[in-house]
Amino acid sequence: MKVTKMVFLVLGMVASAALLANGIGQAKSEQAAEASRKCVIRKQPPKEVIWDKPNKAVFNHAYHVDEVGLECTDCHNRLFTKKIGAALGRKDFNMDSFAKGKYCGACHNGEEAFNAQTECDACHFAPKTRIVFTKPVKAVVFEHKIHVGKAKIKCETCHKKVFIMRKAVFAHLKPVETGSIELKDRYLEKLHKRFCGTCHDSHRAFGFATRCTVCHIGVKGYTLLNKEGKLPEDHQ
């Protein structure tokens, strides 16, 4: 990067010298110098680009240019314009289109660079605060720290099939309403098996059918959490 810039500067100086030698007016060469100065300034990309939505993600210019050695033109304006937020403004700046080779996926395809459909945490961030589900029933706790840290589970283990990497997986669920205990049990088993129970099956992790209160902290637990001030806004 530094070397390239030096080369440009030297080339620029040589070019201006040549222009002068050719007897072209002082004003014109100053204009040229001004333009090339602007160009050099504009050439400085931001070290990092961070998108906040729909899912916080980071892109590191310094890494791609200095460490990997990519040229600006490998991305600009073939894949991205030089305007933060431009890609987000387009409807298809998402994981599906990366999988089809667009945007980041032009390189992050498992060949030129690691596949974007794998190491989620290279670009995304796990929430640091405890998630407390409040729908359909109040006060089910989930902590990334335990799962990603202590249990060393990769993001994609959960976020590819079981959960999308978003809020509100359960928001559309209505509390089960049936007088039949049998029907209710069957419904609950299905619900738990489909989500947390994919691991909490008494083999890979403690079973959902045995230790309800490890996840369901109840109204009392919820109030306690609130008092401690540790509860993020209701997670609906």
Residue 99, interface with ligand HEC (CB under 6 A)?
no
Decide whether 21 or 67 has the Cβ nearer to ligand HEC.
67
Decide whether 19 or 188 has the Cβ nearer to ligand HEC.
188
The contact pattern for ligand HEC, residues 162-201, with x = CB under 6 A and - = no contact, is xxxxxxxxx--x-xx-----------x--xx--xx-xxx-
Q: Is the dihedral of CA 80, 157, 170, 225 positive or negative?
A: negative
Supply the minimum distance, in Å, between the C-beta of residue 11 and ligand HEC: 16
Residue 159, interface with ligand HEC (CB under 6 A)?
yes
Residue 32, interface with ligand HEC (CB under 6 A)?
no
Tokens 């989930």 — which residue? Answer: 142
Residue 157, interface with ligand HEC (CB under 6 A)?
yes
The contact pattern for ligand HEC, residues 206-225, with x = CB under 6 A and - = no contact, is x-xx-xx-xxx---------
Decide whether 23 or 175 has the Cβ nearer to ligand HEC.
175
Neighbours of 132 (CB within 10 A): 22
Decide whether 205 or 225 has the Cβ nearer to ligand HEC.
205
Q: Which residues contact 72 (CB under 8 A, 6 or more apart)?
A: 43, 45, 65
Q: Which residues lie across from 215 on neighbouring strands?
A: none
Residue 231, interface with ligand HEC (CB under 6 A)?
no
Q: Of 14-22, 33-41, 89-97, 221-229, which segment contacts ligand HEC by CB under 6 A?
A: 89-97
Decide whether 32 or 130 has the Cβ nearer to ligand HEC.
130
Among 102, 125, 193, 218, binds ligand HEC (CB under 6 A): 125
